[in-house]
Structure 1
Amino acid sequence: METGNVTTPFGRRPMTLGMLANQVMAGEIKSDQSVDKWKLFRALCEAKPLLGIGDRALAVLNALLSFYPKNELAQENGLIVFPSNIQLSLRTHGMAEQTVRRHLAALVEAGLLLRKDSPNGKRYVRRDRAGEVDEAFGFSLAPLLARAEEIEQLAAEVMAERLHVQRLRERITLCRRDIAKLIEAAVEEDIPGDWQGLYREFRDLIEGLPRSPTTAQLELLLDELTGLRTDILNQLEIRVKSTKQRGNADYIERHIQNSNPDSISELEPRFEPKQGAIAEQDNDRGAVTPEKGRGETAHPHGQKTEEEQSRRPGVRNDGGGLKSFPLGLVLQACPEILTYGRDGVIRNWRDLMAAAVIVRSMLGVSPSAYEEAANVMGPENAATVMACILERGGHINSAGGYLRGLTRRTEKGEFAIGPMLMALLRANAPAGRKVG
């Protein structure tokens, strides 16, 4: 059995304060403390960048753990393993003995192993008459048990950072696609503007990114691309609005103009028409303004009334009979969606819909599923439902399947957003987060 006494290394290997600190820490292990050795090893594999060890050192540690007879590392089972370098070489698939020794030293240096050297430096075990281990000399796994919680925390940090980088790369990819296609559309439509200069700026940003960028560099690139995309969109929107105003002059005598400048026609996201589906002739015609009732329509281009348009197959703008809720209430109930707004703020329905499109991609919801939800529920309600799905992400296995299910229920008149929002509002009430 281990005595817990401080031991010094054999031969010319020096004793260091780090070794002493590791031995003191190992001596503080609680008697009932235990951990699954393979679960801990998987956490080590995740946390290796923060622990300063490489793949081959982990291969040697894996071989050492295979010599430990139990699956649970525990003080009562003993924590010393004593294989020879030849045995370790065999279990590391023929790794040279010199290499094995070098990586054993690296594991000791990283504070993951302790040497318990015998008087002659050999590794062996002394047993009593009953065959139980009386004393063993070799490598102690006690630091792994003592640092188990720390290792798992480091592994969680590495995984969270990796997920953050993955999301940054996804958002950068979306921005790149948006910018390239918006500039291409502007050039094809012969819209005035310095599109060549904007494209050069876009390419300079992309090509200035290192081959292996840091998280900070990715965040900076995303901010710059988002700003560039906003500038391009602003120029295109000015052009679209001026074109609409010119077009309205031909119909001013026959159609009522919409006095509400914040019509939902400017807020609803545009979807690509699928093959076999009926494409909308004009973007968001006959939309209901968010401030007015559902019976009141806006028709800035001389389009058909809402009643006439609702007869068109493949298009629904009645929100599936769902009740709409104030934007402030939605954001209080679903504060996580604020992260995906511009500068972490959502000021209007348009911002919420843009954030919902980003969340849709992040959660793996197909464009067709979201488009169908927007057609059935209405664009505002579809964005609200995406915010609710994001808020409850840990409880939903398939966001796309869940959204399609809610869409089906909406068609049957079996779904209401109110209970979902109220439940989230109660759940988030203690946080006291303010709406942007």
Structure 2
Amino acid sequence: MEALTMTPFGRQPVTAGLMKQVAQMREDRPLPLVNKWEVLRNLTTAAQDFGLNRSALVVLQALLSFHKSAELGTDGLVVFPSNRTLATRAHGMPESTLRRNLALLVKAGLIARHDSPNGKRYAVRRGKDITRAFGFDLTPLVQNADRIAMAAQDAHHRAEEIHALREKAMLLKRDAWKLLEFAKLNGIEGPWEALEAALNASQAQLRRKLGVDQLNALCEALSASVDELTDILTPTPPKPEETSACDDQNERHIQNSNKNKLESEIAEKTAQDEKPAAPTNVPIGVIKQACPDILPYAIEGLAHNHDLVETAHRLHGMMGITSEVWQRAMRIMGADQAALTLACMLQKIDTIRNPGGYLRHLTKRAESGEFHVWPMLRALLPDTGHRAGEAA
């Protein structure tokens, strides 16, 4: 089949893009054999990269249907349906829309025009063979099949990345909202109005179609909000007072000094009442014996008293105790005694209906000097004949 012209019919001008397409089509290199429907599927995936809309793809599908073979080869690549016939195969598309989308396909470099002298589309035959055809040439589609396939692969990876980023943004948004609700419910002070406004804005953004860069920026903003909320809701525990430069020496000092001290203090009676005085430092071995339920929550284990304080900081919210109640208990009782009280409460949590109210009550009693944690701890020690002072 002979292609006689590449210039458009009527008032349509010759463009630089058209000249580039002509030069590409006249390159003396063999064309690959490609499946037209596979090329169409790839082009549908990468439509955005070629500036195509859904209607343009429908028109291209209709054009391909006029090519009899499923494979696009070197010959017979010009199809010549009339606008009316083509519009019918394009699901009854209006001719004005059809012409607009044909121009879009030409501009994208996917088809080329071979216009006849009068602008009509037809073929000249000699017997069964077509010698000349005027219509739309599918050669550019074959020449760009590899580029279309690569663009489709890139578009697929980009879609996967967008899906993963949207998923991450949704999870971060959920974390931020739930942390914000927890803070408000427990009466914790913070910049909640600003954070709520930022979360509402992010929720509105997620209703739109966002690109990779936009989603990355949104994830960073949401992650910052979650970090800010976490910092506010997780107070930093006070550093334990050091009595020695060496932790090992300090630990041995606490255990050895308290061994005799606990025995003597428990035996003493105050002049005011008959209750034993509260030890200032309880050996960690005694705490482990009396309150084993807290051990799974100690990430680094319970080797020192400050480990117990850090564990209590993480645990109080899980027990339904607000940060306000917990901070007051630490302020009145001291960090060590408050943490020990929490460990005792956890050990008998099944018998406590309202842990927050119970700790508030104990704190109030401690403020007036009526509560010490030692009797509470001693009552939890297993009845094995081991006394507090004998624990390692």
TM-score interval (norm. to shorter): 0.5 to 0.7
Partner Cα distance (2:299, 2:173) in 1? 30
Aligned residue for 1:285?
297
Q: CA 1:72–1:284 in structure 2 vs 1: closer, same or farther (change >3 Å)?
A: farther
Secondary structure in structure 2 of the residue aligned to 1:118: coil
Residue identity in the other structure for 1:114: A
Aligned residue for 1:58?
57
Partner Cα distance (1:163, 1:10) in 2? 44
Q: CA 1:112–1:12 in structure 2 vs 1: closer, same or farther (change >3 Å)?
A: same
Aligned residue for 1:225?
222
Give, in angstroms, the shift of residue 87 of structure 1: 1.4
Aligned residue for 1:124?
122
Aligned residue for 1:253?
283
Q: CA 1:133–1:200 in structure 2 vs 1: closer, same or farther (change >3 Å)?
A: same
> Are the counterparts in 2 of residues 60 and 103 from structure 1 also a CA contact under 8 Å?
yes
Partner Cα distance (2:206, 2:171) in 1? 19
Partner Cα distance (1:132, 1:26) in 2? 22
Aligned residue for 1:28?
27
Aligned residue for 2:363?
none
Secondary structure in structure 2 of the residue aligned to 1:238: coil
Query: Do residues 135 (structure 1) and 142 (structure 2) align?
Result: no
Q: CA 1:29–1:89 in structure 2 vs 1: closer, same or farther (change >3 Å)?
A: farther
Q: CA 1:199–1:10 in structure 2 vs 1: closer, same or farther (change >3 Å)?
A: closer
TM-score by length of 1: 0.53
> Are the counterparts in 2 of residues 114 and 141 from structure 1 also a CA contact under 8 Å?
yes
Aligned residue for 1:310?
none
Give, in angstroms, the shift of residue 196 of structure 1: 2.7
Residue identity in the other structure for 2:220: D
Q: CA 1:203–1:24 in structure 2 vs 1: closer, same or farther (change >3 Å)?
A: same
Aligned residue for 2:269?
none
Query: Do residues 14 (structure 1) and 26 (structure 2) align?
Result: no
> Are the counterparts in 1 of residues 190 and 232 from structure 2 also a CA contact under 8 Å?
no
RMSD of Structure 2 on Structure 1 (CA): 3.5
> Are the counterparts in 2 of residues 287 and 297 from structure 1 also a CA contact under 8 Å?
no
Give, in angstroms, the shift of residue 65 of structure 1: 0.2
Larger RCO (CA under 8 A, 6+ residues apart): 2
Aligned residue for 1:216?
213
> Are the counterparts in 2 of residues 115 and 138 from structure 1 also a CA contact under 8 Å?
yes
Map 1:16-165; keep pairs closer than 5 Å.
16-28=15-27, 30-75=29-74, 77-129=75-127, 131-165=128-162
Give, in angstroms, the shift of residue 88 of structure 1: 0.7
Q: Could you say which structure has the larger radius of gyration?
A: 2
Partner Cα distance (2:41, 2:143) in 1? 16
Aligned residue for 1:194?
190
Residue deviations 1:378-400 (CA, integer Å, cap 9, x gap): xxxxxxxxxxxxxxxxxxxxxxx
Aligned residue for 1:428?
none
> Are the counterparts in 2 of residues 209 and 217 from structure 1 also a CA contact under 8 Å?
no
Map 1:266-305; keep pairs closer than 5 Å.
284-285=296-297, 300-301=307-308
Q: CA 1:230–1:134 in structure 2 vs 1: closer, same or farther (change >3 Å)?
A: same
Partner Cα distance (1:225, 1:22) in 2? 47
Q: CA 1:250–1:86 in structure 2 vs 1: closer, same or farther (change >3 Å)?
A: farther
Secondary structure in structure 1 of the residue aligned to 2:234: helix
Give, in angstroms, the shift of residue 218 of structure 1: 2.5
> Are the counterparts in 1 of residues 36 and 72 from structure 2 also a CA contact under 8 Å?
yes
Partner Cα distance (1:183, 1:244) in 2? 31
Unaligned runs of 5+ in 1: 259-279, 290-295, 303-436
Give, in angstroms, the shift of residue 223 of structure 1: 0.7
Q: CA 1:237–1:117 in structure 2 vs 1: closer, same or farther (change >3 Å)?
A: same
Partner Cα distance (1:118, 1:62) in 2? 23
> Are the counterparts in 2 of residues 82 and 123 from structure 1 also a CA contact under 8 Å?
yes
Q: CA 1:197–1:57 in structure 2 vs 1: closer, same or farther (change >3 Å)?
A: closer
Give, in angstroms, the shift of residue 134 of structure 1: 2.3
Aligned residue for 1:206?
202
Q: CA 1:198–1:9 in structure 2 vs 1: closer, same or farther (change >3 Å)?
A: closer
> Are the counterparts in 1 of residues 31 and 143 from structure 2 also a CA contact under 8 Å?
no
Residue identity in the other structure for 1:71: A
Give, in angstroms, the shift of residue 170 of structure 1: 1.0
Secondary structure in structure 1 of the residue aligned to 2:131: strand
> Are the counterparts in 2 of residues 2 and 78 from structure 1 also a CA contact under 8 Å?
no
Partner Cα distance (1:29, 1:73) in 2? 18
Unaligned runs of 5+ in 2: 242-278, 310-392
- Of 166, 179, 194, the match for 2:163: 166
Give, in angstroms, the shift of residue 68 of structure 1: 0.6
Aligned residue for 1:405?
none
Partner Cα distance (1:34, 1:196) in 2? 63
Secondary structure in structure 1 of the residue aligned to 2:132: strand
**Dislocated runs of 4+, deviation >4 Å:** 241-245, 280-283, 286-289, 296-302
Q: CA 1:120–1:198 in structure 2 vs 1: closer, same or farther (change >3 Å)?
A: closer
> Are the counterparts in 1 of residues 177 and 199 from structure 2 also a CA contact under 8 Å?
no
